[in-house]
Amino acid sequence: MVSIDVWNAAVDFPIFDAKSRSLKKAVLGKAGGKIGTDSKVPVIEALHDINMSLGEGDRVALVGHNGAGKSTLLRLLSGIYEPTRGSARVVGKVAPVFDLGVGMDPEISGYENIIIRGLFLGMSRKEMEKRIDDIAEFTELGDYLAMPLRTYSTGMRVRLALGVVTSIDPEILILDEGIGAVDAEFLEKARDRLNDLVKRSGMLVFASHSDEFLVELCSTAIWMDKGGIREEGSLRSVLTHYKGYDPFKNLSDETLARIGESRATIGSEEGS
């Protein structure tokens, strides 16, 4: 069973400039390697007082303005950042997807990048070789897959990256939005694969500004503000408080039926 538990976690970033000591000297000059307030290096508290407990089947949206701490929290949950204070415990294999282009080489072919990107996401070479035909069909890139990635347009690169990302089998999927550079028709096709990907994953944490994607993929939400958790609860409730309106009311009846929601107002939902 997969799980993520975070207790009173904080993440600090020391800020070094030309007038201060280098990071290496600052660390080596301190007993135990911890930079304290006496090091005269300013520290930015990117996250503070983070407490959360996620389990199998959770589908969590992460919302908040730019700079609120969403990306830092995703990296903490992925194990990329260690908490400066507090603790974080992750059980399960994490597939972090922060930038669709990460792990791709512009000088090698699309086919080779499929393998490389898959390895970066924790898959084996044999697993990715089995998926190549499916990924090629999905991307609709044809002969371009035999050409170097540097010959691709931005949209073509996103297609390739999406094809790889949506082919993996993650236990814990940590997803940061970055799929806006493709045409609407292909994005609709990608939406189906993203839904399938989420269904295969044991847990999803998804940071996005897109109401549509959040509604499609998530059931609960966490609102990040100034490095802390301002609110957590049902997706509809948190989105309504964060945005100041009920985004579900703009959805079609077909979409609402698919996600099992009604057109009830958020007020009546909370009062029930």
Q: What is the pLDDT of residue 146?
A: 97
pLDDT digits (tens, 9 = 90+) for 15-59: 776 455 555 555 444 433 344 444 567 888 999 999 999 999 999
Owning domain of residue 37: 3-93+209-271
Token pair for 227: 């490095």
In a domain, 197, yes or no: no
Query: What φ, ψ does residue 239 adopt, rounded to 5°?
Result: -60, -40
DSSP run (H or E) holding 35: none
In a domain, 190, yes or no: no
Nearest to 9 by CA among 113, 110, 112, 79: 79
pTM metric for this prediction? 0.79
In a domain, 145, yes or no: yes
DSSP run (H or E) holding 224: strand 220-225
CATH of the domain at 33: 3.40.50
Compute the distance between CA of residue 26 and CA of residue 39 in angstroms, rounded to an integer.
7
Check whether residue 80 and residue 162 sit in a common domain.
no
pLDDT digits (tens, 9 = 90+) for 107-156: 999 999 999 989 888 889 999 999 999 999 999 999 999 999 999 998 88
In a domain, 174, yes or no: no
pLDDT digits (tens, 9 = 90+) for 200-238: 999 999 998 878 788 888 999 999 999 999 999 999 999
